[in-house]
Amino acid sequence: MADQIPPNASTPSFRRPASLYWPGFLASFLLLSSLSCGALFMATGVTRFDLADLQANQAGWTPPPALPTLEVAVAAPESDQDRIDDGYPPGEQLRNITSSLVNIRAVPGYLGKPDGDIVGQVPPGGVVEIVGERAVADNLVWWRIRYITADGAQVEGWIAEATASGVQILGR
């Protein structure tokens, strides 16, 4: 009776094979995320760059430069009323109504300008005279003005009517 199992002996345990669920889940997650990120980088145009490139102070990616545009709008109004409604007539005296210095520029616009473009500054409360036409540059309205400094020097140039954020610069 060697084939019989004694009644108090334990039955052999059955080993289940290791589950492949978690390794399969992890592998598929990594595959899908690498494909998604790769497609994202290719769609945005980001090229390969190494950590060594960044450590050597080289730019990995920079946006293209913004180029300012200049649109000069010169129009002869039909009457003084049209001129007043459309802006300031030549000879009109205006003040810097801000609490800071305002730059007088050689050419209308402020984006991408060299330091030499600033020909003077008007202090808070300083009076300027409109001497010419207006221009639109960098989405701002610019006025050709003349400013007489405290020492009597005359500076002619361009001042924006308001800042890019909408703060009024020139006022009566």
What is the Cα gyration radius of the chain?
36
**pLDDT value at 68 more than 50:** yes
pTM of the model: 0.50
H or E stretch covering 137: strand 127-137
H or E stretch covering 128: strand 127-137
Residue 92 lies in a domain: yes
CATH number at residue 101: 2.30.30.40
pLDDT confidence bin for 80, thresholds 50/70/90: very low
- Name the more confident of 4 and 138: 138
Average pLDDT score, the chain: 77
Q: Which of residues 6, 34, 55 is at a domain's end?
A: 55
* 163 and 101 in a common domain: yes
Rounded to whole angstroms, the Cα distance separating 140 from 34 reads 45
**pLDDT value at 94 more than 60:** yes
pLDDT confidence bin for 127, thresholds 50/70/90: very high
* 39 and 109 in a common domain: no
**Within its chain, how far is the Cα of 157 from the centroid?**
26
162-165 contacts, C-beta under 8 A, 24 or more apart: 164/138, 164/139, 164/140
Asked whether 124 and 99 are in contact (CB, 8 A), the reply is yes
Rounded to whole angstroms, the Cα distance separating 94 from 131 reads 11
**pLDDT value at 5 more than 70:** no
Residue 103 lies in a domain: yes
Residue 114 lies in a domain: yes
* 110 and 154 in a common domain: yes
Which structural domain range is residue 34 located in? Answer: 21-55
pLDDT confidence bin for 14, thresholds 50/70/90: low
Q: Which of residues 31, 55, 79 is at a domain's end?
A: 55
How many domains does the chain fold into?
A: 2
Per-residue pLDDT tens digits for 24-65: 889 999 888 888 777 766 666 666 655 555 555 655 566 677
| Alpha helices for the chain (secondary structure H) | 21-44, 51-55, 80-86
> Percentage of the chain with pLDDT > 70?
63
